[in-house]
Amino acid sequence: MKLVFIHDGPLFYDKDGNYYEFAYHELYERYSYMADKITFLIRTKPVEGKTFTLVPPQIEVISVPNFKSPKTILVNKPKAEKIVEKCVRENDVFVLRTQSSIAQLAVKYIRKYNKPYIVESVGCSWDSYWNHGLLGKAVAPYMYYKTRSIIGKAKYVYYVTGKFLQRRYPTKGYTVSCSNVVIDEPADTTLVKRLEKLKGFDPHKKLILGTAAALDTRYKGQEYVIRAIKPLTEMGYDVEYHMAGGYNGTKHDYFLRDLAKELGVTDRVKFVGNLSADKMPEYYDSLDIYVQPSKQEGLPRAVIEAMSRGCPVIGTNIAGIPELISKICLFRKGSDTEVIKAVERVLGTDLEKLAKRNFAKSKEFSREKLIKKREAFYDVFLSEYGK
């Protein structure tokens, strides 16, 4: 059986033709349970260096041109249509990850050729587009409707949240609630090290905040943490903010750097770059508090990964984040004042207790538990369509 995973991406490629990713961990292992051949139908971008995670060579990549902007839609949409239709004709089953323009395009041909598919609901289209500038606000109602329509008509839907996406994008099809985040069972020694670190912790001597998220999407909210730095230092905290994520020379990348410069906190803002999967545990271990300041999310991988390192976490009270962290650790999106209040609240709590709570919660996302849950869902799909 030949399976195609469809999403906007992007994947990155180097001059040698190798593909890299930082958001699609373990998909080959996951989908090979259902199929013998795995293809990614996705946007691609060139990259210098090899700082991402290498895509397994067993995965075939079919590149789809970007047709999402007003500048590219007239030229690239017809090209994308041909690529997508050909791919649908030549393959057997499909996994559509929302919210994705390529997936929405593919649905038309999947239904035309009567091909079986699974929809993965990993994020909210309304939140994504509404928090993406004036053009995003203009198209948010349409994209929300399209996503509801696709999910509502799907026979099989994989939700990454426990409640949020199910309420916003309901379906009458067969469903599973199962995070896309799969982590190795966290070792008890990890928690021991975190608790040792907390014993000597003094935020007035050093307080390291950190976020792991794309830098080229403003709705990830890093700007509000940057704006919170100076007030926090004036309150007596020796704070630094570390950001893991690519610097691709985009407008928003420059915005974050320019904002730090404008606010006079450049020396307290560290861009650590794209980190491969094996480097992320070390990154989380270096932080005192992990911050997820997003305006739009599904069930964020980085929050769960940080929790698995026993790291205290604060985050916006949106999407699946309240399903992960304590109420005291939540704050309203789009406000540096809210970030400051959340930092103060967490620093005023029992950090050791919080570290233990996060560490224990992360075990719900251990590989063994989620694989069993996911494969039970796939078994129902395969019982209808075969392998």
Q: What is the DSSP string of 135-147?
A: HHHHHHHHHHHHH
Percent of the chain with pLDDT over 70: 97
The fold of 188-363 is: Rossmann fold (3.40.50)
The predicted pLDDT at position 50 comes to 58
- Kindly state the average pLDDT of the residues 99-114: 93
The candidate with the shortest Cα–Cα distance to 275, out of 33, 49, 97, 56, is 49
Q: Is the pLDDT of residue 248 over 80?
A: no
Cross-strand partners of 211: 243
Q: Rounded distance, CA 354 to CA 289, Å?
A: 11
Q: Is the pLDDT of residue 217 over 90?
A: no
Q: Rounded distance, CA 276 to CA 296, Å?
A: 24
How many other C-beta atoms lie within 10 A of the C-beta of residue 320?
24
- Kindly state the average pLDDT of the residues 357-374: 92
Q: Rounded distance, CA 35 to CA 382, Å?
A: 10
- Are both 2-182+366-385 and 188-363 of the same fold? yes
Residue 114's alpha-carbon distances to 91, 93, 105, in angstroms, are 12, 10, 15
Tens of pLDDT along 267-304?
A: 999 999 888 888 999 999 999 999 999 998 888 999 99
222-234 vs 336-347: helix axis angle to the nearest 10?
60
Q: Is the pLDDT of residue 126 over 90?
A: no
Residue 110's alpha-carbon distances to 115, 149, 317, in angstroms, are 5, 15, 36
153 burial (CB, 10 Å; 0-12 / 13-18 / 19+) is: middle
Cis peptide before 56 (omega within 30 of 0): no
Structure pTM?
0.80
Q: Rounded distance, CA 148 to CA 298, Å?
A: 15
Q: Rounded distance, CA 118 to CA 158, Å?
A: 7
- Give the class (CATH, top level) of 2-182+366-385: alpha beta
Tens of pLDDT along 159-185?
A: 999 899 999 999 999 999 998 877 888
Q: Rounded distance, CA 272 to CA 147, Å?
A: 35
Q: Is the pLDDT of residue 249 over 60?
A: no
Q: Rounded distance, CA 173 to CA 254, Å?
A: 44
Q: Rounded distance, CA 60 to CA 110, Å?
A: 19
Q: Where are the domains of the chain?
A: 2-182+366-385, 188-363
Q: Rounded distance, CA 171 to CA 180, Å?
A: 19
For tokens 């030229």, the residue is 75
